[in-house]
Amino acid sequence: MAPRRGADVGRRCWQSLVGRRADHARQRADGLDGVRLRRVLAEAVATPSLHVLERMADGSRRRAVELPLYRKLNLQPNGWQTSFEWRCQLMLHLCLYNEAYCEII
């Protein structure tokens, strides 16, 4: 299937809203559109920073930057991935397999 141009996709979207059937509406969720959706979702979830917070005696919270877990979650959880790549991979596993696990070694 040839790639669609942006205007063509927009036109098809509006046609589907007014009662005409769009070609992409017939595609299955596990097809190419489903893969793209999972990737967009995984990247959106992985983008915000992940902070480890510590509750103080007065009830306030602060970032617990001195904990080893903070560095793992925010910079580099392992030797081959950035924090973003790791969180993106976890979300993709969750989307594809309905489960995602990590082990601190």
> What are the φ/ψ torsions at residue 61 (nearest 5 degrees)?
-125, 150
What local confidence, expressed as pLDDT, does residue 44 receive? 85
What local confidence, expressed as pLDDT, does residue 60 receive? 95
Q: Maximum CA pair distance of the chain? A: 61
What local confidence, expressed as pLDDT, does residue 52 receive? 86
Query: pLDDT in tens for each of the 105 residues of the chain?
Result: 554 444 444 444 444 444 444 454 444 555 667 777 888 888 888 888 888 889 999 999 999 988 888 888 888 888 888 888 999 999 888 888 889 998 888
What local confidence, expressed as pLDDT, does residue 56 receive? 94
Amino acid at the residue 100: A
Distances (CA, A) of 57 to 13, 54, 66: 54, 10, 17
Q: How far apart are alpha carbons 87 and 42 in whole angstroms?
A: 8
